[in-house]
Chain A
């Protein structure tokens, strides 16, 4: 696996251009490249055998009719697979360390190291109408931490919860610190207990605004949060009734957003400037929602089969008592970390453990990574990287940490602007990321990034570190016939293999 790729030399030594890429050579070389055997040996390519195709239900098998040959019986590939899924891809140093530690020790390290906090985003705590947070700065702030956090699993989980308990800056609005706080909260709770997480989510100021619980009252309840709490956050569609939605809305009503000192000061100043009386609010010191009894619903309602006077804690306990919660969360996690099509038995097994652990997310993630399915051949390259995962992995592979801003900009063209998911259900997943627009944008990002780098790191055995040495004949041929490292990097980063995890 660690053979140096003795790539075919181009006919002539390419002239040193800023990039050193002469693609005419690539094409000519590709046409003239040697047969599959040589490529296989040179690149450590596994033979593409006649394994049965894994068809998506209701979809036709790929006409190529072959699957990747799994290398997951080898430690190197196991840890690389883990780092692609549990983090944003490894730098060569992290890869080497993890190979040395082995799979289980790497899982332990990822899961048990306390999550590191990012440095504060300057000015964000004091955001006001006059001094809003700039979306590009917020996005780059998080991406920068994805690129260099010492605890990348924590960032990966924060990213997962950002898509699950989602909010967007358009509705939450950047004239408050709420969406910035939400990111900090999601990170702190990322490996906690689901009950505690749901409590923090429910009274999170950004969420109070995004799903309207902050303006819901017992007299005229707003159903938005009640519905999505059950449908998207915990139980799944079809597991509750419309009456539960309405009762839940009553049971949850009574919360409002906090007013920060900066927001209060700005309100006062605006009133003074416009000659209006001072606002009748006072600043709050808490960074969570505030419960006001007079806005709550008084009286018993029937919610998920039980009639009583409810509060948020009671509602969440009642939800977590439902059988649907553990399988729903487990399915979502498996689709993000293991396979787009987890079997019923797999879901059931992990869900039982999750519920038994009283919804301990850390225990669940350990179960996920240590399950035999995680390293099963069928689940090798069974997931598609989201744009953020793809680009952060690219930057880490190239050891170029200063790419936060370009990644933020490029994410928009690929359908993933952080803090701005397309819908209340969060981000698309897997096959949904593949479209003509997105393959083009992904390839363009690789090309533009490489073009912009003053010095491109040596390719060495990047095809092993990042692709486990398992590549298609087309990729092998192009890598083999590339005239220089810049071209090799372009082929690797733009390849279908690199889009997968």
Chain B
């Protein structure tokens, strides 16, 4: 069994089986979740290189389908906006101005409040050279942080594998509200867990069945053998973790998935973020979380659909931030949104928009230095295909997250350096 670096040679098994996890976690709970990083999280996150050691957490929110940046951070100062979007520009009048040029969508009320409190950084015009208009291709570029398409591993999976002892803890990387490992976290060297629904995450038939399955999934031959064995071990460890976490956690934010989306994928963003909060505040040592809200591929009747998505996103993020704040952990956690692309400035015949290019990224948390970053994309200077030009490479956002928030070597993951986008207030 591989040893955890810098933790007295304790193995994951020791942590889980000997009750160390639960003991220390319980202590942290007893002390009312002081903003002081809890001992367990630090111990588990003690990384391969000694200097990488902090208690920060990253929550990635994927806006699946290509979020329309121009309907999210609306260029109210632009006359071209109304020309390009006779129907969709109705959103401008009701939007919440940030300055004379741009305004937040009217339904991003909670995020606007956080913005006014200096807790939201909006990086405008984020994209990459020679953009792809394919969902899958562009998702892969964002997931692997590699526009040359040579990388297979997700950038966060690689960051976990290279910096945190992947055998150290099953919950270092966790995808909530989904059934499979998101591309950003994918890396065979990283132990990752996936929890679709925390309430049902357990073995039917109880401990006996669980033990049998532990025996059954051992040294499985074949190309998928290790994947299966690891998945089963991780499932068992996660069951144990969730049992302790659930008993110690009461949500302190107003989470609700009872929303009427005009059309979208599954409504479980709030539940997924609530699980993320549970894992964070109960000191499980979780480091990187990933959740997804789909439905942003608004080729038709975009106005209503995007309105409802903005409302849902805003309420889920607000509940999550309230929850973390109540537990005194909002300064440790940064939420980052991402989407494979923005959308075409000119609306189409279906009252929607087609695949486009650059769009804004939101970074939210008490550790964020709020404000606007990057340039507001110019509608007067579109490229040949009628698309926006990007001003900030998405990898520059990743770089800031890694070097300033997670305190890991960004260059090792990205292979190069980018100009800093200094949205992290407190250097890790």
Are B220 and A474 in contact (CB-based, < 8 A)? yes
Residues of B with C-beta under 8 A to A414: 179
Q: Is B373 an interface residue (CB 8 A)?
A: no
The answer to whether A451 touches B178 (Cβ under 8 A) is no
Q: Name the B residues within 8 Å of A66 (CB-CB).
A: 221
Q: Which one of A173, A215, A221, A428 lies within 8 Å of B300 (CB-CB)?
A: A215
> Which residues on A sit within 8 Å (CB–CB) of B349?
215-217, 219-222
- Tell me the bound Cα distance from A500 to B222 in angstroms: 10
Known: A212-B299, A215-B349. A434 touches B209 (CB 8 A): no
- Tell me, yes or no, whether B39 is within 8 Å of chain A by CB: no
> Taking CB as reference atom, which chain A residue is nearest B188?
A59
Assuming A64-B219, A434-B227, is B238 touching A222 (CB within 8 A)?
no
Determine whether the beta carbon of B133 is less than 8 Å from that of A413. Answer: no
Q: Which residues of B contact A381 (CB under 8 A)?
A: 222, 224
- With contacts A23-B208, A222-B349 taken as known, whether A64 is within 8 angstroms of B220 at the C-beta atoms is yes
Q: Are A439 and B228 in contact (CB under 8 A)?
A: yes
Residue of A217, A431, A433, A499 contacting most chain B CB atoms (<10 Å) = A431
Q: Is the CB of A438 within 8 A of B350?
A: no
Are B196 and A24 touching (Cβ within 8 A)?
A: no
Q: Closest Cβ of chain A: how far from B184's Cβ, in Å?
A: 14
Complex CA gap A433/B194 in Å reads: 11
- Check: B409 CB closer than 8 A to any chain A CB: no
Q: Are A496 and B235 in contact (CB under 8 A)?
A: no
Task: State whether the Cβ of B180 lies closer than 8 Å to any Cβ in chain A.
Answer: yes
Q: Is A64's CB under 8 angstroms from B225's CB?
A: yes
A444 at the interface (CB under 8 A from B): yes
**Cβ–Cβ contact B216 & A478, under 8 A:** yes
Instruction: Provide the residues of chain A in CB contact with B107, threshold 8 Å.
Output: none
In-complex Cβ contact of B223 among A54, A444, A491 (8 A): A54
Verify if A423 is at the interface (C-beta below 8 Å from B): yes
Interchain CA distance A26-B213 in the complex, whole Å: 11
- Over the window 57-74 of chain A, the binary record of Cβ atoms lying under 8 Å from chain B Cβ atoms (1 yes, 0 no) is 111101110111000000
Interface residues of B in 46-68 (CB under 8 A from A): 64
Most chain A CB within a 10 A radius of its CB, from B136, B193, B202, B228: B228
Asked if A436 and B235 make an inter-chain contact with CB atoms under 8 angstroms apart, the answer reads yes
Chain A residues whose CB sits within 8 angstroms of the CB of B265 once the complex forms: 170, 422
User: How far is the CB of A162 from the nearest CB of chain B, in Å?
Assistant: 17
Q: Which residue of A lies closest to B187 (CB)?
A: A59
Contact B263 A170 (CB under 8 A): yes
User: When the two chains form their complex, are residues B216 and A494 in contact, meaning their CB atoms are under 8 A apart?
Assistant: yes
Known: A170-B263, A215-B349, A220-B349. A435 touches B194 (CB 8 A): yes
Given contacts A222-B350, A237-B136, contact A26 B212 (CB under 8 A): yes
- Is B372's CB within 8 Å of the partner chain A? no
Nearest CB of B to A479, in Å? 10
CB contacts (< 8 Å) of B194 on chain A: these are: 435-438
- Would you call B136 and A425 a contact (CB within 8 A)? yes
Could you write out 16 A-B pairs with CB less than 8 Å apart? A27-B211, A48-B221, A54-B222, A58-B152, A170-B264, A227-B355, A231-B136, A413-B200, A425-B136, A434-B180, A435-B180, A435-B181, A436-B232, A439-B217, A440-B235, A478-B212
